[in-house]
Amino acid sequence: MVSAAQELSRAYLRRDPESGVLYEVLATYLETFLAPGPLSHGPGDGVTSSLPRHVVRELRGYLRCGILAHGFARFHCFRCGTDALVAFSCKGRGFCPSCGGRRMAESAAHLVDHVFPRVPVRQWVVSFPWVVRYLLARRPALCRAVRRVFLRAVFGFYRARAAEEGIEGGRTGAVNRIQRFGSSVNLNVHYHALVLDGVYTAATSTARPVFDDASELFDEDVEQLVETIRDRVLRLLRRRGFLSDEGTVTMGEEDESGVQGLLPLLQAASIQGRIAQGPEAGARLGRMGRLAAGGGARFVPGTLCAEVDGFSLHAGVLVPAHDRDRLEHLCRYIARPPFAAGRLTWSRKGRLLYELRKPWRDGTTHIVFEPLVFLERLAALVPPPRMHTQTYHGVLAGGSMWRDEVVATKGQTPRRVSTSGETVSSTPRPSVPRRPPHKYLWSELMRRVFGFEVLRCPVCKARRRLVAMIMQRSVIIRILDHLGLESDPPPIQPARAPPQLEFEFP
């Protein structure tokens, strides 16, 4: 039986972003980072420090996220009369841990409940050399084209394997997620594809599709597939003028994003793990916990993992058809925020230490940032506006004629295992109306992720109800002052002047 103290400990506690290290860094150094001025990168070469509006909006928006003084929702318990205030979020797409966490939970819940059928799902992860990463970060259209190349290669692999077993006309599906970050808060554009590990077939145009499991995957298959992806991506770059026959890479005649100034420099430095500006521009970031001095650890392929010329492909994660909890955990993993704010701390010397989730092969446990360098990394992570990071393909795509019979529904798609030879008769497909997209409430996501009801009153156990959205400044001040809470937002430090040399005159 759960005690009263345990119930109170599981009650919803408002997050306090203003007391965190991430908020402190932005509040103290953001205006200095955004201050206009020329940045020197060599003799006679000056680059303006302007950033695109969507990047500035993302950085400044975080300073309003979770702050009651900027507005909140009021939940009231009509049994005991207690209230709970929930601050508005910034809905950022770049680096906000809170908004990214909600988007992660909502995306994973939707995929498991309304998209993935009860069949095996394999994760395919492909990453690229540094130069290709930079091209993908700068050009959204090229990023979409490379995604199509990657998924067509994977889908073709499944069709070919099925044809070898006598299954013709097989179709599979996937949910692809574009991740723009690496483990050290660096810009690293790569793809995570959750692919149905098998193919669907239908005896006739009116028959219901049947799923056949794919045969066992081997290291040689992954090696051949990554070579195919490498060749097709390089051919695409040559066709679009980004790669010459001599192997020279260019950005083309005009930068598609239309963004000039500081952002391309920040993205290039972030991809290479270097500092973009300041007296140490071009230097590598400091590390802690390294076993030996020198460069980073070399890539070591593992099981169902291969690397060719900087192109790497990993396919070692397979979720069985019955394990929906593990599938949801995998969906959360591919949709996770860029970094965990709890692993960001201050050092005694005033630098930022970011603890890695697990040590690197060379023993590195922490990445060391100067505050302004850390803001460089955050700015580089912000995706371009109107760019979809999660897309649906094959039989899971919105335009697929089999989608209504394939996606997760109460009546599951018939399945046969190709390796056993068992046959399942195809039945005529019913008329399934297309379901409107499901919207998860904030309380549903909190219950799903943390396992308790956040709207339950800790005093009387009744359910609180939303009664008002408070956005008018005068009302915000009156309510917060009445409750004894801070009604003014935390102060934002103005831009600091650059350090000046001190001259001593006789």
Which residue, among 26, 15, 165, 176, has the nearest Cα to 102 in the 3D structure?
15
What's residue 205's pLDDT? 77
Report the alpha-carbon distance of residue 103 to residue 440 in Å, rounded.
10
What's residue 438's pLDDT? 63
Report the alpha-carbon distance of residue 188 to residue 190 in Å, rounded.
6
What's residue 48's pLDDT? 41
The dihedral formed by the CA atoms of 313, 316, 320 and 324, expressed in degrees to the nearest 10? -70
Can you read off the two tokens belonging to residue 61? 């928006």
Return the number of other C-beta atoms located less than 10 Å from residue 217's C-beta.
17
Amino acid letter for position 432: V
What's residue 459's pLDDT? 83
Tell me if residue 179 falls in helix, strand or coil.
Answer: strand
The dihedral formed by the CA atoms of 87, 90, 94 and 99, expressed in degrees to the nearest 10? 30
Report the alpha-carbon distance of residue 16 to residue 238 in Å, rounded.
50
**Cα angle 502, 503, 506; round to 5:** 145
Given a contact cutoff of 8 angstroms between Cβ atoms, the answer to whether 126 and 229 are in contact is yes
Q: What are the per-10-residue average pLDDT scores of the chain (506 residues)?
A: 45 79 95 72 44 93 94 90 89 91 91 93 96 94 96 97 92 96 94 97 86 94 96 94 75 50 90 91 88 52 88 96 94 94 92 92 91 95 92 93 79 52 43 53 75 78 89 94 91 78 48
Supply the DSSP string of 60-98, one letter for each residue.
Answer: HHHTTTT-GGG-EEEEE-TTT--EEEEEPP---SSS-HH
Instruction: Scan for tokens 């499901």, then name that residue.
Output: 438
Can you read off the two tokens belonging to residue 266? 């920040």
Can you read off the two tokens belonging to residue 178? 């574009």
Residue 76: phi, psi to the nearest 5?
A: -125, 140
Given a contact cutoff of 8 angstroms between Cβ atoms, the answer to whether 199 and 158 are in contact is yes
Contacts of 322 (CB under 8 A, 6+ apart): 118
CA dist list (Å): 388 to 71, 141, 145, 330, 383: 29, 11, 13, 20, 9
Residue count of the chain, please give it: 506
Termini Cα distance of the chain: 81
What's residue 301's pLDDT? 63
